[in-house]
Structures are given as structure tokens and as C-alpha cells.
Amino acid sequence: MSTPGPALVVHGGAGHVARDRMEPGGAERVREGLRAALARGLALLEAGAPALDAVCEAVAELEARPEFNAGRGAVLARDGSVQLSASVMRGADRAAGAVAHVCDLLHPVRAARAVLADGRAVLLVGEAASALGRAAGVPPASPDELIIPRRRADLERALRDGGAELDLDADHGTVGAVACDARGRLAAATSTGGLTGQLPGRVGDSPLIGAGTWADDGSVAVSATGTGEVFIRAAFAHQVDALLRHAGLDLASACDRALEEVTRLGGRGGCVAVTPAGDIALPFTTRGMYRGWARAGEARHVALFAGDPG
């Protein structure tokens, strides 16, 4: 697909959950969340806003919905804490901001944007990240507001079974968005709660520029979801850029090739990506990836599993 003009692609995580394992009404709630994220981001793009605004607000919409593993409803670490991470990147100048190990903000993506705007760092962690976010107007949230009963039950089951339950194997996942605005500018944003039962202090690929998130107006914007450690080792998001820029591949081929490397290293997952020309890609190597895509003035599409019509 290669029609120029504003475009937005969102994801709610890639995983191996089966349709019959989703709780009653779960699939429709996921679709509602994806549609709401598309509507929120597209309204900005159609009003002439930059791509960075669109991806941040689309991701903020998903962070507020407990069906996804980001913001409210994020999964819990081994010690029962919530540990949120997010990153944003602007394609015009490769400016980026990221936060990790945040436990008291509803919208870590907005804290990540505050890091970008501040300009003194790319990645902040813990209380320093929260403090900068609060100073920028990001609303605080207590653990009682962020943690939902289902995530406590997930952790109890994971600990009882003796290990971490990857978000890939549940009915939720990392969220993200990529956009191309009316001027051909690109941006990407990604947000996650990590893995159920993860080691306290673990950081995956979502807040790492070049691994889970990338944007460059000369090539591509990417937001990834999957086996975080492997996506880091594969430098996944930047690898998509490199395959476009240096190997001359088209977008779909570049994403597929980068995912092949993830598979070779023992991981799985997917991504959403968009180019300045408006080409989009949504590949994944799991049973499904919650995803939505649209261009300004055109029909909006959402899908959950492999083979689902858009």
C-alpha cells in the first residue's frame, strides 16, 4: 500500500493467545481500544498536527485501557510492582525520549515525550523519570489506580508455576504507534509493562531506541512488540531502517528480514512500520498481533489474529 498522505498504524502487542482463550467480550474490547487509538491519532493528523502528536496520543489511549499491557492494567514484576517503560522518536531530527521503571504515572508515553522535549537525556529511569514527567504535567497515579485484579492473578499463577509468563502468551501486550503526517514527517512511540513475573528492574526493548522504537524521515518509523531481549540483541527497529537504506529493500521485505533475524536468535513478535511515502507494514511471527491502520479520509481497519480481514 503506497498512497501518500497522513497515515497511522497502531498495535496492542503480538502473541500466541488463541481465540478461545480470550475472556468473554475481550476481543471486542481490544477492537474498541484499537479503534479509539486510531480515531484519536487520526483526528490530530487530519487537523494538520505533526506525527509525534498523533503517535503519543494514540499510545496514551491504549495506556488508559486495561486490555493492554501498558499504563493501567500493565503486568506485574516478580515483587508485585508495576514497572512501566515507554519511548518516543521524532523522524525529522532523530530526537528521542524514553523512560523506564516508572511506577506512578498513568501515561509513561507522555513522560517519554517530556524527556524528548527537555533534551538533556534520551533515557531516564525510576523516580527521576517520574519527577520530570510530573513537572511536565503528566498526571500521577497510585499503584491502586494502575494495578488491576486480573494482573495480580496472572502474577500469582506465574509464581505458582515457577517462572515468568511472557506477555506473548497472554491476551494482552506492549502497545505502540507509527505515523506519517501531511508533510511526510514520521514518528514512533512504544509503551509496555514488561513481562509478568519479570525480575525487578528488568528493561526490555520498548524504551530502547533502535530496538523497540525508531523514526527517521528519510526512511521509516517502527514500533516493535515481542521477545524483548531478542529484539534488543537484533537491534530490530534500526535493522529495518538499515535494510531499507543500505540494502534497498522495500518496507515489507525489510520488516520480514529483520523478523527472520529475531527468529534465528530464538525470539518472536512483530512490528508496525510506515515510510514517508505512506507505505505501511504490520508483520508478525506469532499467532496474532492486535493491530489497526488507517489513512486520513479512508476506512479504518482493525485485526487481531493471523488471517483476520482488516
Task: Look at residue 9 in the predicted model and tell me its pLDDT.
Answer: 98
Between CA 159 and CA 194 the distance in angstroms is 16
* pLDDT tens track for 15-46: 876 666 677 788 999 999 999 999 999 999 99
Give the mean pLDDT per block of 10 residues along the chain (310 residues): 76 79 83 98 97 98 96 95 98 98 97 98 98 97 93 91 54 85 97 95 97 98 96 98 97 98 96 96 95 93 88
Task: Look at residue 105 in the predicted model and tell me its pLDDT.
Answer: 97
Query: Where along the chain do its domains lie?
Result: 7-305
* pLDDT tens track for 225-237: 999 999 999 999 9
| Fold annotation for 7-305 | Glutamine Phosphoribosylpyrophosphate, subunit 1, domain 1 (3.60.20)
Task: Look at residue 18 in the predicted model and tell me its pLDDT.
Answer: 64
Alpha-carbon torsion angle 31, 36, 39, 42, nearest 10: -90
Between CA 71 and CA 73 the distance in angstroms is 6
Task: Look at residue 167 in the predicted model and tell me its pLDDT.
Answer: 46
Residue 310 and residue 45 in contact, taking contact as beta carbons nearer than 8 Å: no
Q: List, by residue number, the catalytic residues.
A: 174
Residue 56 and residue 181 in contact, taking contact as beta carbons nearer than 8 Å: no
